[in-house]
Structure 1
Amino acid sequence: MKAHGKAPVRVASLAELKLLRQTLAAQEARQVAELAARRQAERRSQAEKNLFSKAVGAVTPLPDGRRARLAREQPAPIPVQRQLDEQRVLREAISDEFDVSTLLDTDDALSFRRPGIGTDVTARLRRGDWSIQRQIDLHGLRRDEAREALAAFIREAHRQGLRCVRVVHGKGLGSPGRTPVLKSMVQGWLIQKNEVLAFVQARPAEGGAGALVVLLKPSLP
């Protein structure tokens, strides 16, 4: 009796499975038919567009007279380009190959003064008659970085009307062979800057052999 009672359940399950398969097949067939119809409609629409284009030819849209054409406001100039140009000028303005040996006064400490500048100017610089208004420290910079930083510093100091500045280049004790390479480089760079009138080695309290005191030209009003 128990075995006879399970037979209807199995028959019902197979019937439901068969119905489910038929339903899924019908849905799949309907989706395929809809996709085919959609693609056919798209091809028909594209063919009609191409036929219209071939029949009419090139078309230029007419201007809409209802729209007012306003002049566009020009964007403000970007100062970044000016900064890049200034950096390029800095790189080209001073050379590492400049020979300064013939332009330096070889007294107890090397100094420089432009033609027409008397020895009293360098003497006054050594005495500290001009107060140091600003300084730049080039320690730890690579040669290219130091050159560009120094040129920018001198240009900006002159633009602001400063007369006396200090350039710290170090004594070269950490350089290979303990040779003050940056010191001679800085001297050559300063001589090539038109803003520089003279420079002397700093007094011991102001850096001594590791720094220069620089006198700048007066800036034009």
Structure 2
Amino acid sequence: MAANDEDEIDLFREAIKGANPLRISPKKKEHKAPQKKPKPVPLNLIRDEKQALIDSISDHYEPLHDIENGEELFYIREGHSPDILKKLRKGFWVVQKSIDLHGMISDEAKAYVVQFIAECKKNNIRCVRIVHGKGYNSKNKEPVLKNKLKHWLAQKEEVIAYAQARVHDGGGGAVIVLLSAH
């Protein structure tokens, strides 16, 4: 050790003379803020609500005000102006969200549509496109989902009107749906 180091050690010893060491008990625990337990997720309630939404529409419902002109499909809920349907068919409202049901079986598509409409309602989305396909890959080359979709939509209170999409939006393989404001 250098003389300089010894001088520093002596200075340090002189400075701490008379100091008592702190006594720390190893048995003392650190105090932590109490952790709040997360609220339990009601999985059964969520599952039941989803099933109730699905069960709220039937595959066998026939709307009273369903208007079908050949292959073209359109509908307006009673009590609303026919101008809404005209505007919807001309693209007055911007499509804010879209789903595609291609490749789904009927039960999957039904659940997906119900969930989609509920999500749109929650997020204040008014105009949506639902692509159902033209049925070219179905058993009898008929549009199974198209026929079911028109009944499902007519049963949803949120649906004001729907019309076959314009050609660039899917034509006969899609519908544009106007939902009520929430």
Above 0.5 in TM-score? Answer: yes
**Residue in 2 that maps onto 1:90:** 53
Point out the more displaced range, 207-216 or 81-90.
81-90
**Residue in 2 that maps onto 1:164:** 127
Report deviation, 1:92: 1.5
Point out the more displaced range, 119-128 or 74-83.
74-83
Report deviation, 1:147: 0.3
**Residue in 2 that maps onto 1:106:** 68
Q: Which has the higher strand share?
A: 2
Report deviation, 1:110: 2.1
> Contact 2:65–2:78 (CA<8 Å) still a contact in 1?
no
Report deviation, 1:105: 1.7
Aligned amino acid, residue 40 of structure 2: P
Point out the more displaced range, 85-94 or 180-189.
85-94
Aligned amino acid, residue 153 of structure 1: F
SS across alignment from 2:102: coil
Structure 1 distance, partners of 2:176, 2:123, is 18
Report deviation, 1:136: 0.7
4+ residue stretches of structure 1 with deviation over 3 A? Answer: none
SS across alignment from 2:163: strand
Aligned amino acid, residue 174 of structure 1: N
**Residue in 2 that maps onto 1:149:** 112
Aligned amino acid, residue 194 of structure 1: E
SS across alignment from 1:126: helix
Counterpart pick for 1:134 among 79, 88, 97: 97
Structure 2 distance, partners of 1:123, 1:164, is 14
Report deviation, 1:208: 0.3
Task: Give the alignment's TM-score, normalised by structure 1.
Answer: 0.63
Structure 1 distance, partners of 2:129, 2:94, is 10
Structure 2 distance, partners of 1:135, 1:76, is 33
Structure 1 distance, partners of 2:66, 2:50, is 28
**Residue in 2 that maps onto 1:37:** none
What whole-Å deviation, never above 9, does each CA across 1:128-180 have from its counterpart, x for those lacking one? 11000000101111111100000000011011001100000000011112111
Q: Which has the higher helix share?
A: 1
Gaps of 5+ in 2: 1-35
- State the structure with more CA Rg: 1
- How many pairs does the alignment contain? 146
Gaps of 5+ in 1: 1-72
Within a 5 Å distance, the mapping from 1:58-77 to structure 2 comes to 76-77=39-40
Structure 2 distance, partners of 1:162, 1:179, is 31
Q: Are positions 1:204 and 2:174 aligned together?
A: no
Task: Give the alignment's TM-score, normalised by structure 2.
Answer: 0.75
What whole-Å deviation, never above 9, does each CA across 1:79-117 have from its counterpart, x for those lacking one? 4233202222123201111123x4212346221111111
SS across alignment from 2:110: helix
**Residue in 1 that maps onto 2:4:** none
> Contact 2:85–2:162 (CA<8 Å) still a contact in 1?
yes
What whole-Å deviation, never above 9, does each CA across 1:24-52 have from its counterpart, x for those lacking one? xxxxxxxxxxxxxxxxxxxxxxxxxxxxx
